[in-house]
Structure 1
Amino acid sequence: MGQAVFSRGWPVALLAVCAAVSLLGTGAAIAMGLALFLAGFAHGAGDEQAGTLRPFALAPAAAYVMAGLAVAALFLALPLAGLTLFLLLSLWHFARSGRGDGIGRAAFACLAVGGSALLRMDETSSVFAALLGLAPPRGWMLALAATGAAGMALSVATFVRGRFDPSLAATLVAVAQLHPVLAVGFAFAVGHAFPLQGSQIRRYGWRDVIAAQGPTASIALLGALAMAALVLSGHLPLPWAAALAFGMATPHMLSERLER
């Protein structure tokens, strides 16, 4: 019983932590959001197919990196097109790999991708402007906000049908109350990465998960820390760092075979 209560209550507890961190200022909120992205990265750091989980072999790993660099190049050449592609893939990926029925998964996906644009449009636009190196068009932001509105409507439909999901409810609060970077990092963690990581641990056990995901996750963590240091020191423009980050996340969305 206690374990069941904790499993349903932990998204709210993490939301409270994020809200407390937000009180420290925008920099702390962004740092917390990025930390959640990094913490959730490991769920896709192993090669999972046909009921097995193992480290990536050299050839698939090389193909993954090349695909990531190609997406990063697209982002740098056509920033808005690259970001649009990433958000569309994220929408599909969250809706496909989430928990619950189709309506609940679609509600979470739309909220995670477009909720901040709907409820905190100016802040969200500023974040995208920093990442792109140019302000996103108003029409583009309105389309993203419409995605968030769809997420809210689908969330209400989910709750009315008696399918209350603490992760979905906490995500709804997060996109309304938290800085966009922290809100999306929170949504990614509670509605996608952490539940999938938990499923992997239950299927394969801690040791096999660490053995399969540890090498790639460690390299990714070191790379992320190096990029952060370069950005903070002024040696790497933020749009370049964003392009690399989006590029390296995209192949996972195209090739993941996580089993629900």
Structure 2
Amino acid sequence: MINLSVLEVGVIGFLAQIIDGALGMGYGVTSSTLLISFGIPPALASASAHTSELFTTFVSGISHFKLGNVRKDLLRPLISSGIIGGILGACGLVTLPSKPIKLVVGFILMSMGGLIFYRFLFRRGKINTEIKTYPPSRLRTLGFFAAFIDAMGGGGWGPICTPSLVLTGTEPDKAVGSVNLAEFFITIAIAATFLALIGPEKFRWDIVLALAIGGIVAAPLAAFICRKLPKRLLGILVGLAVIILSLRILLRR
């Protein structure tokens, strides 16, 4: 395993949070992938990323809230069911085969990413600017599924929730901000479950701290970028991000 300096890990956290905070997805996947590419064992990389998200999602969520990127009507259903799904997903990770689930999720995300990319690239005049409400039952189902996959696969909350909301009419900046703030509460449940299951002594707390510091520094900037980007461009970037993340899931052995 390559020894990374605190500064190098901090840069990884910074870059991962810029992507996640601006597009509503990618912190866990980006940070885990970069850590693994430097020789950090996959399990340790995933655990470190999830734990550091406790800090980054808090700062990111508050930043989005202050900038008006959050819709409160989306939060409660996503959080309440997401906590349950995250806990069950973390528990299931040690007993259920994750590869078939990842393949299914990869194909679903690929389809969603393609639809979003097409919608915002070729239908620039049909972007919905009205505030659309959702049945709480639909949001609870979305939150449960996304959190379950996130815990089992090391990522998935943002890639599943954000495009789902965008495809059904939510403005991209509101989808990104609401998903980011809800993720803080989901991450608490998932991280606590992992800590209980594998024990805190197996964690690399220096990596966790460096990732968290880098992400905290980046969070306000990422929220500002999300707020200022044109909605059409943000939608296109969200679609591309989902496609790239889905390819990573499908191609990863």
Range class of TM-score, shorter chain = 0.3 to 0.5
Give the TM-score of the pair, scaled to structure 1.
0.36
Greater relative contact order: 1 or 2 (C-alpha under 8 angstroms, separation 6 or more)? 2
